[in-house]
Structure 1
Amino acid sequence: MNDDDELWVDSADRKVALRALAEHREAEHLTTTEHDRRQDLVQGAQTRADLRALFADLPSPHPLIGEERDAWEATPGSRPVADTPDGRSNGTGLVLGSGGVVVLGALLAGWWVPAILLACVVVVVTVLVAAH
């Protein structure tokens, strides 16, 4: 039993538990009926021990609940990494975002042909930036 088992469950704990239940359902560790029953129990859980008990009879991995989840999220290697090995963004989002705004503006202004041409340019530049 963990030290934090009697602490109240928060919405993040419930989300983690629901996601884990869905994974166990996909892996066919749970029937649809049992999955649905446990989903209801997640919504009614009051303590972290209540949530952990829902996974006691299931194979690993078990969801990280409470302080375990917080520590995992704070671990540098546990978060999604940036687009490049050195940790910097490669600019794809900037190209897509700014290009999308320009294309949307052209469409709203009624400039259909320029909007289509701009969209093609944005796609090509995005592919080139992402490949670099």
Structure 2
Amino acid sequence: MSDDDELWVDSADRKVALRALSEHRDEEHLTTTEYDRRQDLVRAAQTRADLRALFADLPSPHPLIGEERDAWTATPGSRVRAETPTGASNGTGIVLGSGGLIVLGALMAGWWVPAIILACVVVVVTVLVAAR
């Protein structure tokens, strides 16, 4: 047993395990009775080894328990950071940073009201463009 197996599970680990059990039930690898029994065992599991043992006799894929689970549970199309599909930055940080510079410059120069309005417009436009 590795040190990783001795770590306590959290609700996210249990959620990943329950989702994987549902997939195995849907693929008819588990009967309804066995699925219900394993669900109870997932809820009672205390360590990662307890969860991994529930999938030892099932075909792949097995759920990734622990820190690896985030990649396994990511939904297609979900955004982790502001990047284009090619991995290049879409410029959100630059535009938001320039909005902050506008506000800072306006406060120091004394023409802060129009600058804050302009900065708000820049931020709103950036958010709308990044949401596409």
Smaller-chain TM-score range? Answer: 0.5 to 0.7
Residue 81 (1) aligns with residue 77 (2): yes
Instruction: Give, in whole Å, the separation in 2 of the partners of 1:65 and 1:82.
Output: 20
Aligned-residue CA RMSD in angstroms?
2.7
Contact preservation (8 Å) 1:38, 1:54: yes
Note if contact 1:4-1:67 (Cα within 8 Å) is conserved in structure 2: no
Q: TM-score, normalised by structure 2?
A: 0.55
Partner of 2:41: 41
Alignment partner, residue 66 of structure 1: 66
Alpha carbons of 1:22 and 1:4: their partners in 2 closer, same or farther (altered >3 Å)?
same
Compared CA separation, residues 29 and 67, structure 1 to 2 (3 A): same
Larger radius of gyration: 2
The CA deviation at 1:3 is 2.8
Q: TM-score, normalization: structure 1?
A: 0.55
Aligned residues: 84
- Ranges of 4+ aligned residues in structure 1 off by more than 3 Å: 82-88
Aligned equivalents of 2:78 and 2:22: distance in 1?
27
Q: Which amino acid aligns with 1:81?
A: G
| 1:17-69 Cα shifts (integer Å, max 9, x gaps) | 00000000000000000000000000000000000000000000000101222
| Sequence identity (%) | 81
